[in-house]
Structure 1
Amino acid sequence: MTRLRAAGAVILGKTNLSEWANFRADKPTSGWSAVGGQTHNPYVLDRNPCGSSSGSAAALAASLAQVAIGTETDGSIVCPAGMNGVVGHKPSLGLVDQAGVVPISAEQDTAGPLARNVTDAALTLAVLAGSRVPQAPSGREDLRGKRIGLWRLPELGPGVDALMTRTARTLRAAGAEVVEVTPPYQRRLAELEYPALLSEFHRDIDAYLATRDGPRDLAALNEFTRTHPAERTCFAGRELFERALAAPAAGSPEHRAVRAELKDLARRSVDETLAAHRLDALAAPANPPAWTTDCARGDNDVIPSSTPAAVAGYPSLALPAGFVGELPVGLLLTAGDRQDARLLSLGAAVEHRLPARRAPRYLPTTPVP
């Protein structure tokens, strides 16, 4: 906030985010907090905005602000961006100072910008990072000769798969080479990530809470959540809190082994795929069509595309790709370590060829795609 104000930004307020970044219950509801209630998707109001940076993305979709800040451990910037039809950039780990950010894991957490176009996101990143990235895209970026690896993820549904086919066709027509890829090690990444995060959350949230009023550690926070009536108005689960309390200590041999394997495989997943196909970036769906918000059921958000970059600490960028019915779907671009500037430049070129954003209509509901 200090850097944004110094650069001339007018801070309008705080947005309503998913409580504890969705790291509390097995079946959370993205966009809900005991303080702010439920954030709605501006495109279809009974659909979910994804999370955890739910309000940041929804506010931009509704044109309540020019840019917003979100945070991500895995997917919490790029999924809301995709699901609300805006741009979201998860920077390389360490590029943006994390002071004051409520943590899940110092090994993955980062703040990053959301905006309605890539240029505004890049300008905001330059401020957040203290100008440690080059200037914003010029608007003259070209896709000719760029090689993009398309990770289709057909499990996100036939509507998303058809949209990826159309996107690839458009990018090829603009001069890009698009090849289909499947990054390796995804099953093992899914097995390892949550055990690592549980240990790190206990360590990092204890350190954060010790500097604040109210509960001073995770055990006290868990008890507060159990007994406070407002915390049960949508869902009551605290399973992740309780697993984190019981997890191996961060820094223990067991935890270090899990994190080391996890980081190595995530980096190799991206690096080996980029090298094997001589790619400038990976591309994948950022999100499925938004599911209906339902506190009893919780989210339906198994979205693997964000995990390699999130765990590796590499940059990723979500931008509008189109719609499945009335619901926005984003394209997620991923590049190698510290390649934020190149990724934003490529994103600007893709955005120019995919003028996919349209303003929301605030529909009360829509048929299930």
Structure 2
Amino acid sequence: MHHQKLESYRTGNLDEMSIAQMQEEMQLGNITSEELVLMYKENISLRNENLNAVLEINPDALQTAQALDFERRRRGPRSKLHGIPLLIKDNIDTNDKMHTSAGSLAMENNYALRDAKVVEKLRAAGAVILGKTNMTEWANFMSDKMTNGYSSRGGQVKNPYGAFDVGGSSSGSAAAVAANLAAAAVGTETSGSIINPAAQNSLVGIKPTIGLISRSGIIPLSHTQDTAGPLARTVEDAVTVFETLIGTDDDDVITAFAEMFKGYDWHQHLNPHGLSGVSFGVDRELFKEIGSDQLDAFEKALEQLRISGADIQDISLGADQEDLGFAVLLHEFKADLNAYLAASNPQQPIRSLTDVIAFNTEHADTMLKFGHNLLEQADRLSGMLTEREYVEALERNRFLAAQQGMKTSLQKAGVDALLLPQDFGCNIGAAAGFPSITVPYCQTPNGEPFGITFAGQAFDEPKLIEYAYAFEQTTKGRKRP
């Protein structure tokens, strides 16, 4: 950077700086939001070429930051996110000069007509939307052969820790935050797409209970399982973004549940002693295919939890991930995507899933590197959600995952939450619509990040945050790449 002060600050202070530290520095006048944007843009220009994590920069980011700096001087900060640069996954609508494409060249010229509700809330809190992140195309629901983190629009997202799986589908959001290209990011999950990349990139990821965060303006996969959530380097940072995203939305009826947390103090759960007297369940059937290095790391994490005052029990959820209804995703994807595309910007020519497939076929050399068999399977369905296969699969998910797996089994065992290595077994909580939080623990001998996931019942986020924060403070498992 030409400005020596900023270059010195960027190389000596910025990496791994928490949101609270940024706020303190801005309050003291040591840095400004404008300078944060400049420094993160410098990081992106230097590091993103090797990561493919950031798709595009918001042209208005710098002037937005300048305006927020002026507002801070005049009236003080709006919230803990005032002036903080954040990145947004490419399937989340932003009504600005950026595109929303779900990683697909078929949608590369799509400009959203309005902000997604989560973006609206971030802007209202004073956050700076720095840019859009790459992702696994169509939220990893294009082909069962596609690698995590690949999109036709952005190419392959790479893990900043080395030649490891970057995770999907919020791959760019995770890699960008891990590499310090922004303070934090917002991703989305249907089944593991926040938890998996968080674990693979030594990050904290919060996958919320369905109903706490609006899905309006997010390119959908499944209305029964989709949610947005934060990816951050610390639990505190993740909570700061998470609490901003929570809220009701007339356009997303399930968010009526968010009313119970109106005005709630989420930071009260940043309790370093939150593991004392807690009982965790471990279902080893969920990670039978885990590698030996990861299993060793998990066993060490269990011992650390015991030292911190937690009790560990082997339990059985009575549900296998293979029993859960994949048909739910197939049927809902067509119905939900068609509805989104039909209501999108009229100048955007892709109006249906059939149009997506036609575009891919016409541009096969570019679009079909991994095929699009999942799109084709979904498009053969009616999209009316009347099929017996769909209804039966939906009922099976609600019973096996929610009622039997994550409610009755945990209650009968007398445990407070489920423990998982990395994201093994997270599909059960996702099918149930229940929350999970992943926390970095260590790196395996070959340098691959390894995390622990705490999973609970609906609206258990306050408890899970306590467990995650206490574990983080005890282990200090994150190491910068």
Q: Larger Rg: 1 or 2?
A: 2
Aligned with 2:462 (options 316, 338, 341):
341
The code of the aligned residue for 2:145 comes to K
- Work out whether 1:193 is the aligned partner of 2:325: yes
Q: Is the 8 A contact 1:93 1:108 kept in 2?
A: yes
Aligned with 2:453 (options 329, 332, 357):
332
- Work out whether 1:124 is the aligned partner of 2:256: no
The code of the aligned residue for 1:37 comes to G
Aligned with 1:147 (options 279, 282, 287):
279
d(CA) in 1 for partners of 2:352 and 2:191?
Answer: 23
Deviations 1:229-267 (A, max 9, x none): 56437x231110111112354431512222112221111
The code of the aligned residue for 2:476 comes to P
Aligned twin of 2:436: 316
The DSSP-based 3-state class of the residue aligned with 1:121 is helix
d(CA) in 1 for partners of 2:467 and 2:426?
Answer: 18
d(CA) in 2 for partners of 1:64 and 1:116?
Answer: 11
The DSSP-based 3-state class of the residue aligned with 1:359 is coil
- What are the residue-to-residue correspondences of 1:132-281 with 2, within 5 Å? 132=262, 133-136=264-267, 137-152=269-284, 153-186=287-320, 189-212=321-344, 213-229=348-364, 231-232=366-367, 235-247=369-381, 249-254=383-388, 255-267=390-402, 268-281=404-417
d(CA) in 2 for partners of 1:144 and 1:47?
Answer: 34
- What are the residue-to-residue correspondences of 1:100-115 with 2, within 5 Å? 100-115=217-232
Q: Is the 8 A contact 2:136 2:169 kept in 1?
A: yes
Q: Is the 8 A contact 2:330 2:377 kept in 1?
A: yes
Aligned with 2:418 (options 268, 282, 291):
282
Aligned twin of 1:40: 158
d(CA) in 1 for partners of 2:365 and 2:387?
Answer: 39
d(CA) in 1 for partners of 2:418 and 2:207?
Answer: 14
Bigger relative contact order, structure 1 or 2 (CA pairs below 8 A, ≥6 apart): 1
Aligned twin of 2:106: none
Aligned twin of 2:426: 306
d(CA) in 2 for partners of 1:163 and 1:280?
Answer: 22
Deviations 1:135-194 (A, max 9, x none): 2233433311000112342411111111111001111011111112232121xx424421
Aligned twin of 1:293: none
d(CA) in 1 for partners of 2:169 and 2:239?
Answer: 21
- Work out whether 1:57 is the aligned partner of 2:174: yes
The code of the aligned residue for 1:286 comes to Q
Aligned twin of 1:2: 120
The DSSP-based 3-state class of the residue aligned with 1:11 is strand
Q: Identity over aligned residues, as a percent?
A: 36
The code of the aligned residue for 1:273 comes to S
Deviations 1:107-133 (A, max 9, x none): 100000111111111111110003645
The code of the aligned residue for 2:312 comes to V
Aligned with 1:66 (options 175, 183, 187):
183
d(CA) in 1 for partners of 2:405 and 2:220?
Answer: 25
Q: Alignment RMSD, CA only?
A: 1.6
The DSSP-based 3-state class of the residue aligned with 1:14 is strand
The DSSP-based 3-state class of the residue aligned with 2:214 is coil
Q: Answer 1 or 2: which has greater helix percent.
A: 2
Judge which range, 336-345 or 73-82, deviates more. 336-345
d(CA) in 2 for partners of 1:11 and 1:79?
Answer: 24
List gaps (5 residues or longer) in structure 1: 288-302, 361-369
TM-score (norm 1): 0.88
TM-score (norm 2): 0.68
Q: How far has the Cα of 1:9 moved from its partner?
A: 1.2
Structure 1 segments (4+ residues) deviating >6 Å: none
Q: How far has the Cα of 1:208 moved from its partner?
A: 0.9
Q: Is the 8 A contact 1:154 1:160 kept in 2?
A: no
d(CA) in 2 for partners of 1:279 and 1:92?
Answer: 19
The code of the aligned residue for 2:467 comes to L
Aligned twin of 1:295: none
The code of the aligned residue for 1:347 comes to A
Aligned twin of 2:134: 16
The DSSP-based 3-state class of the residue aligned with 2:130 is coil
List gaps (5 residues or longer) in structure 2: 1-118, 248-260
Aligned twin of 1:297: none
Q: How far has the Cα of 1:272 moved from its partner?
A: 2.2
d(CA) in 2 for partners of 1:277 and 1:330?
Answer: 24
Q: Is the 8 A contact 2:429 2:435 kept in 1?
A: yes
d(CA) in 2 for partners of 1:92 and 1:346?
Answer: 17
Aligned with 1:90 (options 207, 220, 232):
207
Query: Relative to 1, partners in 2 of residues 1:258 and 1:229: Cα closer, same or farther, differing over 3 Å?
Result: closer
d(CA) in 1 for partners of 2:140 and 2:270?
Answer: 36
Judge which range, 325-334 or 132-141, deviates more. 132-141
Q: Is the 8 A contact 1:81 1:114 kept in 2?
A: yes
The code of the aligned residue for 2:409 comes to T
Aligned length: 340
Q: Is the 8 A contact 2:202 2:439 kept in 1?
A: yes
